[in-house]
Structure 1
């Protein structure tokens, strides 16, 4: 399994094949099929192992919000460690992954503390994990873009600055123009910062929603 993860980490899921893994392991492809069951099953096991590197803590933090933040940040760390992981995880057809279930269970328990119904709990958990995965999908594409262009995101943005300034003037884009007033504007875009900013918004909105739906605890 670690061999397959090493290949995906180094070259992406597109480079992963049963033949490639078998060759790296020094076994026949058919032997690997008998052991694993096929590429889909292999990837499923890889996902579970990767998530398992970032477990929920034995002692969860106090408070529903801190619990959800812990789960979300653990998954974000997993996605950063394995750039292929976000594209291998499904939200609409979730895989049954032993190492992911404790994350989901923690979020469900945190949400259920509001006394909301089961559907609300599930949609809340899916919303949180869907947000994390959605931002994480940019990690691999950004890494590829930097490799292909030889430029960091900041260097690429600097290259576009002249054309952006022209379009702001041509189209009279007041919102953009205001960013530079009065002392100019330098935006240091970081996916980590975007993740934390968005997570705060998601949880703020979730708090309002859950409070509105709250029913007396029995």
Structure 2
């Protein structure tokens, strides 16, 4: 008896979900198809009913992970904040938190797949680059909300600021994760120092913004 289209679609999603988890935890190259399919609850032979190659699966994993996390980022960016903070500050504090460091399965895919990206196929790299570029655009919008002198034509452009900020956040998270098991205290120090410096720099830039811009 054949599998219905609905069931086939559900099976495909289950494979993508299993692959996403394993790829994030151990890296793309370290996960074989047999292990992956077993984790998803299927036999290895069924893999090619859904994907023509592992590279095709990796590309779909990247596309799905980027789209899902960026949609979540947009949703959180527009969520209400109290007067003591801004959406950008809230994002920075979350990004550099111990909870985010430890949540590799559901965390930022830009950081989660940073080590794999250079070795992935062209389609997967394209999805990674597109997702990264979208995050930069979203961050630029958060900078506007926070108050930025770049809006008035001063200093660097919004995109330049967003790129620099994203590099600081992703770099700190990747380093903190890389030593989290071997040197947990160092890992915590990386996050704490990065958060302090990023927020201090943010406060300095915000204080330089024109009053009319801050009150938007």
TM-score category, normalised to shorter length:
0.5 to 0.7
Corresponding residue number in structure 2 for 1:193: 192
Match status 1:116 vs 2:152: yes
Match of 1:7 among 22, 25, 29: 22
Distance 1:17 1:47 in 2: 22
Secondary structure of the structure 2 residue equivalent to 1:33: coil
Equivalent residues in 2 for 1:148-163 (5 A)? 152-154=183-185
Distance 1:112 1:206, change over 3 A: closer
Query: C-alpha deviations, 1:160-194, integer Å up to 9, x for none?
Result: xxxxxxxxxxxxxxxxxxxxxxxxxxxx9633322
Secondary structure of the structure 1 residue equivalent to 2:86: helix
Equivalent residues in 2 for 1:22-37 (5 A)? 22-25=37-40, 26=42, 28-33=46-51, 37=56
Report deviation, 1:197.
Answer: 1.5
Distance 1:18 1:117 in 2: 52
Match of 2:80 among 52, 56, 59: 59
Distance 1:84 1:66 in 2: 20
Higher-Rg structure is 1
- Structure 1 residues not aligned, in runs of 5+: 147-151, 158-187
Are the aligned partners of 2:22 and 2:31 in contact in 1 as well (CA < 8 Å)?
yes
Corresponding residue number in structure 1 for 2:124: none
Distance 1:19 1:107, change over 3 A: farther
Corresponding residue number in structure 2 for 1:81: 103
Distance 1:66 1:123 in 2: 20
Are the aligned partners of 2:88 and 2:143 in contact in 1 as well (CA < 8 Å)?
no
Distance 1:124 1:2, change over 3 A: same
Distance 2:152 2:141 in 1: 15
Distance 2:22 2:83 in 1: 39
Q: Say what the alpha-carbon RMSD is for the aligned residues.
A: 4.4
Distance 2:37 2:56 in 1: 13
Are the aligned partners of 1:51 and 1:75 in contact in 2 as well (CA < 8 Å)?
no
Aligned positions, number? 174
Distance 2:32 2:137 in 1: 30
Distance 1:4 1:153, change over 3 A: same
Report deviation, 1:39.
Answer: 1.3
Secondary structure of the structure 2 residue equivalent to 1:38: helix
TM-score by length of 2: 0.57
